[in-house]
Amino acid sequence: FAILGFCDDYIAIKRGKNMGLSAKQKFLAQWVTAFILLFIFNLKIEPLSLIEILFYAFVIVGSSNATNLTDGLDGLLSGLSSLTLLGFILYFMQLYYIEMVTLSTVLLFSVFVFFWFNRNPAKIFMGDTGSLALGACFASLSIIAKNPWVLLPLGAVYILETMSVIIQVAVYKKTKKRVFLMAPLHHHFELLGL
Tens of pLDDT, residues 118-176: 777 777 778 899 999 999 999 999 999 999 999 999 999 999 999 999 999 999 999 99
d(CA 109, CA 82): 8
Cis before 121? omega within 30: yes
Helix/strand number for the chain, H first, E second: 9, 0
Confidence band, pLDDT 50/70/90 cuts, at residue 109: very high
